[in-house]
Amino acid sequence: MFEKEEKNLIGWKKAYDELPYPAEDIDAAIQAGFQKGRQQKKKVMRKRWLYSSAAAAVFFITFFVSIRYSNVLANYIAVIPGMEKVVEKIRYDKGLLSAVENDYVQEVGVSQERNGLKVNIDHVIADEYGMVLFYSIESNENQTTYQIHDLELKSAKGKDPVMATSGYGVDFPSDTPRNKVDTTAELFFSEPLETTDFILDIEVGTGTQKEQFEIPFSLNKSLEQKKTYEVNKTVSIEQQNITIKQVEIYPLRVAVTLEMDESNSKKILSFDDLRLVDEHGEAWTNISNGVTANYINEHEQILYLQSNYFKEPEELYIVLNRLQAIDREDDTVVVDTSTEEIVKQPKGDLLSDLEVIGNDVWFKLKTEKEFNYSLFSSAKDTNGNDYYHGNMVEGTVENGKQRMGIHLESDKIAGPLTLEFSFYPEWIRGEAKVKVK
């Protein structure tokens, strides 16, 4: 199974042979599979799985295999000196683990210090459109809080990378002071990289100080090129047509471009279980942390999956069975914050108990199980001004209701607010499988 490691890592064979895989670890992995199957996360979402028994059985079996594979591979790689911290950050991403397995991770090993604060860039995994940085922050004194206030990647030579999306670790306060934290940054670009020499511009803060760093570093390995498959095939689930236009496979992730038919009667909000599956049933699912989607327009979007770049299956399919979807006339909620009244909402009246507290607008959502999604994507007044600042979710369901809200940028609003749904607990289901290769 690990032919490449056997060649590259023969010096650590003894450590690998002695690495324990007790039965309780396997049981724990299976339980984690059940838990993740029931509460699979995307952004801040937890989703219920409601398949046909056959589809559910196939999915859960492949999921258990994936979990066990990821844990075994992660434990295997972790015996390599210097890889422990990398593995800890990517343990549940099969694609990134596979990149490490195939010697695609690059050691950087550069640092910079300012007034007792130090930033170390340890490793990087990069392709032509993205980069995952593994870095750490150290302090001469123990700190309860480490924060990244800003992070930007610049070119040391020529044109700066054109950023598409980025995400970087923000460390929450800890009760235990410590002098070092390890974190990651995910950077993705709208254009291919034109250089291998960079400057990481980063502002770091603790509870007592804030420092700016400009750290030069270089990539020392060539970047693998993407694999592109033009698919252009349409599937239908409950009379809603979706076209799988293109699949692009990068070392860091898989990008699946989808287009929804403009004549669809429903607005599709989320592809809960879209996955890439090979001829043996091995699945590459959505990314559990980091950037999960890019919305091009109302009808077209790109979904990101864990990467199978370093696999070469004979056959490859896009499979989906369950989508969040809502009737187009029901894709908004209208509320009057002055009277704390819900003026309009989707059929079924799942939202109730509107409450305005300062700039926060709270609802209660009727649900049997936790629905930890961000309900809304915008909050516009009668003049079209968008006051959306962020969603809030309280996970506990009490008496069949879950408290959820939205934080507004101002409490001075002209007229009723129109809130547009980004997620909502309504689903359509079917069996869709499209051949990619």
Q: How far apart are CA 127 and CA 133, in angstroms?
A: 12
Q: How far apart are CA 258 and CA 243, in angstroms?
A: 6
Flag the least confident range among 62-76, 159-173, 293-307.
62-76
pLDDT in tens, 323-379: 999 999 999 999 999 999 999 999 999 999 999 998 899 999 999 999 988 899 999
pLDDT in tens, 248-273: 999 999 999 999 999 999 999 999 99
Quick one: pLDDT band at residue 85, thresholds 50, 70, 90?
Answer: low
Comparing 106-218 with 227-323, is the CATH topology the same?
A: yes
Closest CA relative to residue 163, chosen from 134, 198, 211 = 198
- In the chain, where the domains are located: 3-101, 106-218, 227-323, 329-421
Q: What is the CATH number assigned to the segment(s) 227-323?
A: 2.60.40
Give pTM, 2 decimals: 0.77
Pairing status of strand 283-284 against strand 341-344: unpaired
- CATH 3.40.50.1000, applies to 106-218: no
